[in-house]
Structure 1
Amino acid sequence: MTRSPDERVLRRTAWRVGLQTAAAVAVTVAVLGAVAGLVVLRSQHHAEDQLVRSAIDQADDVGDPPAGTWLVVLDGERRSATPGLPAGLPGAADLRQTAQDHLARSSDVHAGGREYRLRTEPFRNGAIQVVLDLRGEHEERERLVQALLIAGSAGLVLAALAGAWLGRRAVAPLAAALALQRRFVADAGHELRTPVTLLSTRAQLIRRRLRKGGDPAALASEADELVRDAGVLAGVLDDLLVAADPREPPADRLDLGRLADEAAGAARAEARARAVVVRTETGRAPVTGSEVSLRRAVTALLDNAIRHARREVLVHVAREGRAVVLTVTDDGPGIDESVLPTIFDRFSSGAGDGGAGARRRYGLGLALVSEIVARHGGSVTAGNPAAGGARLQVRLPAARFPETTKNSPAG
């Protein structure tokens, strides 16, 4: 699947935001983990000190120390120890030194692959030493670290995904604006090239004839053509501006049947020049939306039909349940089946207007119709009737409103 430049920029930006969010979460988890570890370590040391203190205060002999501890008493030259004292213990040097100088000592030693805390204090005629197994504290810290790693890893993944999602939502308006800008520039370049070229060519011809003292009647005819081409250019600019407007259409109450009649009346002059008859079959058809936008859409459908019709264009407007349906049918060559899926894309075109090698073309007009209808909550379809020609149909939500509408005649 090929992505547009804007989509690639959006995707990279979203993942960059996701990774930055994950990095921020990682730092936060690391700091919180370090704080939690320090709190647990401090709590464990405090509990160890209390247990050792309790063992020494309650020591009458070495036979019944608190769980996880062993006692060693040095009384003169006589030493006694709790049964099951780990091999390699006690710390004999600490016992002798404390018995001599009567100073308490603490140290951590390793014996048999485990770590023990030794606390030696003066006791009676010698010294007493408490041996505390630190395995439980180590296992608790390991469980804490594992829990932090698991939770942190899951949090990082979720943070990256959530950050990417939020980042995509955050930059989506910017991407839409960039896409709208690119589309407007592309549409303007494509649609304005031909009318601007015609204006320039016709102006040059008029200037050349003026310099040669041309016939005034011919010059007047050329000037009329220049004005007509300028009108075409103005119409293209109107289409571009309507297509580029991101705002929601104003909620005017309209009679689409009346609007279609007016648009058909305005188009009849062009139709007569092409020997085409425009007929209307319209009834009261209430809708809500922008009169300017909907008029441009109906006009675009009529322009398309008149350009390709051989003799007749029919505009039919009726209410069907909760919808209003506008149908524009011409008796032209119909729409190439290969073009139907993309007929409402910009600058779609297809072959087959009845002439040798000619093509039925669709520039910005039908794309404009599709966008306007979509913004009004409706849909537009195209097809080829069994009787021939082409049919384009717009379906809009019907509106409920009072007896008179914005574009209905008084009374």
Structure 2
Amino acid sequence: MKQAPTDPAVRQVRRASRIVGLQIGIASGALVIAAIGAAFIFVLDQLRPSEVNEPPRPGEHKIYIDATEALIAFALVGFLAVAIAGVLSVIATRRAVRPLARALQIQRDFVADASHELRTPLAVLDARLQVLQRGLAPDDPSKPAVADLRTDTRILVDVVDNLLLAADPERTEPVSLRDAVTRSLHSLEVLARHAGVELVLGSRDDVRTTVPATTLTRCATALIDNALVHSPAGSSITVDVRLQGDQAVLKVTDEGAGIVGIDPTRIFDRFARAHPAAPGRTRAGFGIGLALVRDVATRHGGDVAVTRTGPTGTAIELRLPAG
């Protein structure tokens, strides 16, 4: 017996094909019914009861149809036509989307294989850093840098694990959005000091969501890093985490010059960039980070939007279903 596909993407594509096929079948059936109805009305209009007893003229041929029998015949033909149109629509749609389902499955397999192959060298790198860290003297000036390298390596391991989860998605346990934001602030602290920008954690509700922890950290990092690029020296970036209704809200507010050079609604498009960056910034983005945030929000039933922008700064909110 043929088993149902286990890949969620394949199931989703097949479900979509059934819906599209059903819609096409309904549209085709409506057209068939309209055509048969018009034909039936035309036939009834041509029937003349007074002509039944009239003898045909020379060279004239007449056919008399019973109205009830004609209605039954048209109804049967219409039903069969609608049924055949629906079945053919579903079959044609499934064949049309089959390459898409296969492509999605290949993509997931590639992500899973690549992520699995990256885990081993990253684990070896973390082990070597651990050996180096243990061998350093307590007063060695490079000890903090080695500790930061170990933290960065563990973050990379978490990212790879998150890719494996994305390739084979499962319902995860609720995780703390506040903890993910704290990790992001810690990892970006060195960039903030270099830029002369203060990172401030404002409201910090212990709100939870079912989005994977590494994904949350990546989203928070992308939003805060985007604010860093556009924040002048001496300013601050405020990050708030709160529970609003049934949503976990992450709000990042900067004191930059606002979004200029592009419509604020387009900054979440891929390769879209606002100009200019803050004075003295040599690090420019590629317009990918915010697009990834929007993809994550959409995939998990949330959204991200610019809630305020102007000469005094910009505020962006990420909303996710609370766990």
TM-score w.r.t. the length of structure 1 is: 0.44
Question: Match of 2:184, SS?
Answer: helix
**How far does residue 251 in structure 1 lie from its aligned partner after superposition?**
2.1
**How far does residue 277 in structure 1 lie from its aligned partner after superposition?**
2.0
Asked whether the 8 Å contact 1:346–1:363 carries over to 2, the reply is: yes
Asked whether the 8 Å contact 1:352–1:360 carries over to 2, the reply is: no
Q: Which residue of 2 aligns with 1:290?
A: 212
Task: Tell me which moved more, 261-270 or 168-177.
Answer: 168-177
Q: Distance in 1 between matches of 2:92 and 2:293?
A: 33
Asked whether the 8 Å contact 1:350–1:360 carries over to 2, the reply is: no
**How far does residue 169 in structure 1 lie from its aligned partner after superposition?**
6.2
Q: Which residue of 2 aligns with 1:388?
A: 312
Are residue 307 (structure 1) and residue 229 (structure 2) matched? Answer: yes
Q: Percent identity?
A: 23
Q: Which residue of 2 aligns with 1:260?
A: 181
Q: Which residue of 1 aligns with 2:36?
A: none
Query: Alpha carbons of 1:180 and 1:395: their partners in 2 closer, same or farther (altered >3 Å)?
Result: farther
**How far does residue 143 in structure 1 lie from its aligned partner after superposition?**
7.5
Q: Which residue of 1 aligns with 2:190?
A: 269
**How far does residue 293 in structure 1 lie from its aligned partner after superposition?**
1.5
Asked whether the 8 Å contact 1:344–1:370 carries over to 2, the reply is: yes
Are residue 339 (structure 1) and residue 260 (structure 2) matched? Answer: no
Question: Match of 2:312, SS?
Answer: coil
Are residue 328 (structure 1) and residue 252 (structure 2) matched? Answer: yes
Cα deviations by residue, 1:275-326 (Å, 9 ceiling, x for unpaired): 2221112232222221121121112212222222213222111122322211
**How far does residue 373 in structure 1 lie from its aligned partner after superposition?**
1.8
Q: Which residue of 1 aligns with 2:10?
A: none
Q: Which residue of 1 aligns with 2:46?
A: none
Q: Give the number of aligned pairs.
A: 232
**How far does residue 262 in structure 1 lie from its aligned partner after superposition?**
1.7
Are residue 378 (structure 1) and residue 302 (structure 2) matched? Answer: yes
Query: Alpha carbons of 1:265 and 1:345: their partners in 2 closer, same or farther (altered >3 Å)?
Result: same
Read off the aligned partner of 1:152 and give its amino acid letter: V
**How far does residue 180 in structure 1 lie from its aligned partner after superposition?**
9.2
Read off the aligned partner of 1:297 and give its amino acid letter: C
Asked whether the 8 Å contact 2:241–2:251 carries over to 1, the reply is: yes
Asked whether the 8 Å contact 2:178–2:205 carries over to 1, the reply is: yes
Show structure 2 runs of 5+ residues with no match: 1-15, 33-54, 111-144
Query: Alpha carbons of 1:300 and 1:359: their partners in 2 closer, same or farther (altered >3 Å)?
Result: closer
Q: Which residue of 2 aligns with 1:352?
A: 276
Q: Distance in 1 between matches of 2:210 and 2:246?
A: 13
Q: Distance in 2 between matches of 1:293 and 1:359?
A: 23
Asked whether the 8 Å contact 2:259–2:310 carries over to 1, the reply is: no
Question: Match of 1:349, SS?
Answer: coil
Q: Which residue of 1 aligns with 2:48?
A: none
Alignment match of 2:200 (pick from 274, 279, 294): 279
Read off the aligned partner of 1:300 and give its amino acid letter: A
Cα deviations by residue, 1:147-168 (Å, 9 ceiling, x for unpaired): 5456435643664366436644
Query: Alpha carbons of 1:320 and 1:247: their partners in 2 closer, same or farther (altered >3 Å)?
Result: same
Q: Distance in 2 between matches of 1:359 and 1:336?
A: 18
Asked whether the 8 Å contact 2:229–2:283 carries over to 1, the reply is: no
Name the structure with the higher strand share: 1
Q: Distance in 1 between matches of 2:193 and 2:73?
A: 81
Cα deviations by residue, 1:341-383 (Å, 9 ceiling, x for unpaired): 2222211123333569x99755221111112122222211124
Q: Distance in 2 between matches of 1:243 and 1:374?
A: 19
Query: Alpha carbons of 1:338 and 1:167: their partners in 2 closer, same or farther (altered >3 Å)?
Result: farther
Q: Distance in 2 between matches of 1:300 and 1:249?
A: 24
Query: Alpha carbons of 1:355 and 1:263: their partners in 2 closer, same or farther (altered >3 Å)?
Result: closer
Question: Match of 2:174, SS?
Answer: strand
Query: Alpha carbons of 1:272 and 1:286: their partners in 2 closer, same or farther (altered >3 Å)?
Result: same
Asked whether the 8 Å contact 1:243–1:368 carries over to 2, the reply is: no
Q: Which residue of 2 aligns with 1:156?
A: 81
Read off the aligned partner of 2:213 and give its amino acid letter: E
